[in-house]
Amino acid sequence: MTVSAPGAGKTVALFATCINDTMFPQTPKAVVGLLERLGCTVEFPLGQTCCGQMFTNTGFFDEALPTVRNYADVFAAYDYVVAPSGSCVGSVRDQHPMLAERTGDRALVEKVRAVTARTLDLSEFLVDVLGVTDVGAYFPHRVTYHPTCHSVRVAKVGDRPFRLLEAVRGLTLVPLPAAEQCCGFGGTFSVKNPDVSVAMGADKATHVMETGAEYVVTGDNSCLMHIGGILSRLNSGIRPIHLAEILAATEGAHS
C-alpha cells in the first residue's frame, strides 16, 4: 500500500515577507524545499509586497491600506497562504480586517476577511493542515527556542514550534530561561527606543547563552536578527537560525 505525502494535492502560496525577501532569502527557500518534500505544490505570486505592519503600527493607516488591498488581490485565488513569520501573519490576520473596516467598503471587508483567514504561519500549516509534527528533519545540534511576541500573542502559534522541533532527529531542545520576555526588537520600537531595545536584547542574549545551545531558533527573522546581532558582538559562538531552516534540513543535505 502506497501512503501519499501529507501535502499531496495541496497548492500553497508562499508569502515570503519583506525582511526575508531582502535580507534572509534562505528562509523562504527552506519553506519551499520543506513543503515540496511533504508533497505540496508551492507557488510564489510575484505581485506580493509588504503586509504594511510598520505603517499600521505607527498610525499611518491610510498609507497601509494599499498593501492590504494588494494582499487581498494577490492571494485571493489560494486556499492556503503560508508565511515563515508569526509577526507578519499576525499583522495580516489582526490588522488587515481592521484597516478594511475603516474604509466602509463591504466588498473589500469580505474579501480581506476571506484571504486573511487562509493565511497561516508555517508551524500552523504543518501541524493543523498537514497534520504532521515529524517532517523528516535531521539537525544534530543543541538548540534553544525563543517564542517571539507576535507569534505567541497575535498569531497564537502556541506550542506548535516546540512540537515540530521535538520531532527533529538528532536535535536537543534546551528550555530558554525567561522565554516569555520580549527580545526588544519590536520593529519600529528598536528605532524609537534604541537604548531600551538593546538592553532588552542583551538580557535575552544572556539567557540564550545560559542554555549552552549551539543555535537559537525563532519563527521570525526580525527578532532573530536582533538577538543574533547581540550574540555576535558578544562573541558567543551561538548561531541564529530560523525554524524553517531546521525543518528543511535532512540527513543527506545537512552541513
Portion of the chain with pLDDT greater than 90, in percent: 90
- Is residue 188 within 8 Å of 213, Cβ to Cβ? no
Mean pLDDT of the chain: 94
Encode pLDDT of 102-155 as tens digits. Answer: 999 999 999 999 999 999 999 999 999 999 999 999 999 999 999 999 999 999
In this prediction, what percent of the chain has a pLDDT beyond 70?
98
Query: Do 171 and 241 meet the contact criterion of CB atoms below 8 Å apart?
Result: no
pTM recorded for the entire structure = 0.94
Q: What is the band of 253 on the pLDDT scale with cuts at 50, 70, 90? A: low
H helical segments located in the chain:
18-22, 26-37, 53-57, 61-75, 86-103, 106-117, 122-124, 149-153, 160-166, 189-192, 194-210, 221-233, 243-248
Phi, psi (rounded to 5 degrees) for 172:
-110, 115
pLDDT of 32-82, one tens digit each? Answer: 999 999 999 999 999 999 999 999 999 999 999 999 999 999 999 999 999
CB 198 within 8 A of CB 226: no
**What pLDDT sits at residue 255?**
47
